[in-house]
């Protein structure tokens, strides 16, 4: 669904609820079931480009930061996050919403 043109800039937050139960899916299992690996590989390729720019030893750090900013905006993959939660205990809920708030404030 996130591959649709209308959703190319969408962010996705998944609450992996019921983590207090013994048969709850782990974050990695849920990632597999939802098929988010394709989105992750696009994100990782973007992050690896950012890291390689950080690792370059440039005399002009301002220029390196400008290149990093430009490079990070060339690829705009759908961003997603899975937060482990237990709604009855309230764990993970605020963390997930904090992530969503930070992602939405970037746009």
- Residue 106 among known ligand-binding residues: no
- Residue 32 among known ligand-binding residues: no
Mean pLDDT of 72-98: 81
- Residue 18 among known ligand-binding residues: yes
Are residues 107 and 37 in contact, defined by beta-carbon separation less than 8 angstroms? no
Tally of CB atoms within 10 A around 80: 19
Higher pLDDT pick, 42 / 83: 83
Higher pLDDT pick, 70 / 83: 83
User: What is the pTM assigned to this prediction?
Assistant: 0.60
- pLDDT one-digit tens code per residue, 35-81: 887 764 444 333 433 444 444 444 455 555 444 444 444 344 558 89
- Residue 33 among known ligand-binding residues: no
The least confident of 4-8, 11-15, 27-31, 73-77 is 73-77
Query: How far is the C-alpha of 73 from the C-alpha of 77, rounded, in Å?
Result: 10
């Amino acid at each position: 669904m996130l591959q649709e043109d209308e959703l190319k800039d969408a962010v996705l937050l998944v609450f992996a609820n019921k983590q207090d139960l013994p048969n709850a899916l782990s974050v990695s299992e849920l990632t597999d079931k939802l098929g988010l690996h394709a989105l992750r590989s696009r994100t990782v390729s973007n992050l690896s480009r950012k890291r390689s720019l950080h690792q370059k030893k440039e005399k002009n750090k301002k220029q390196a930061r400008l290149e990093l900013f430009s490079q990070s905006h060339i690829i705009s993959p759908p961003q997603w996050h899975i937060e482990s939660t237990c709604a009855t205990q309230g764990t993970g809920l605020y963390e997930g919403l904090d992530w969503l708030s930070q992602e939405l404030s970037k746009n």
